[in-house]
Amino acid sequence: MNTVALHLPSTLTLRLLPLLTALRRHVDAWRAHAHERRRMAAELRMLAALDQHDLNDLGVGRSELGYWATRPR
């Protein structure tokens, strides 16, 4: 058997390559979106932990945090 032929991609591989590339892009986008959601949730938890004095310093009222916690995603 010719060893060069072992290293050439098969026709199946060449046909699946665009599909695998698209799948990889979608997975990467999903991971980035999930990372952003975790970051935003962590920031919301930090804001919720602040007392009223700290919120006043930031110019945010306690009632405004409810909107950020219940907004549609």
Structural domain of 46? 12-70
Residue 4 falls inside a structural domain: no
CA-based radius of gyration for the chain: 24
Structure confidence at residue 30 (pLDDT):
97
Residue 29 CA to residue 1 CA, distance in Å, equals 42
| The total number of structural domains that make up the chain | 1
What is the 3-state secondary structure of 4-66?
A: HHHCCCCHHHHHHHHHHHHHHHHHHHHHHHHHHHHHHHHHHHHHHHCCHHHHHHHCCCHHHHH
In a domain, 3, yes or no: no
> Looking at the domain assignment, is residue 46 inside a domain?
yes
pLDDT value, residue 61: 77
What does the pLDDT read at residue 16?
85
Q: Which residue has the higher pLDDT, 2 or 67?
A: 67
Give 47-58 pLDDT, tens digit per residue.
778 888 888 888
Give the pLDDT score at 5: 53
pLDDT for 21 equals: 92
pTM flag (> 0.85): no
Q: Does residue 26 lie in a domain region? A: yes
> What's the rounded Cα separation, in Å, for the pair 60 and 12?
58
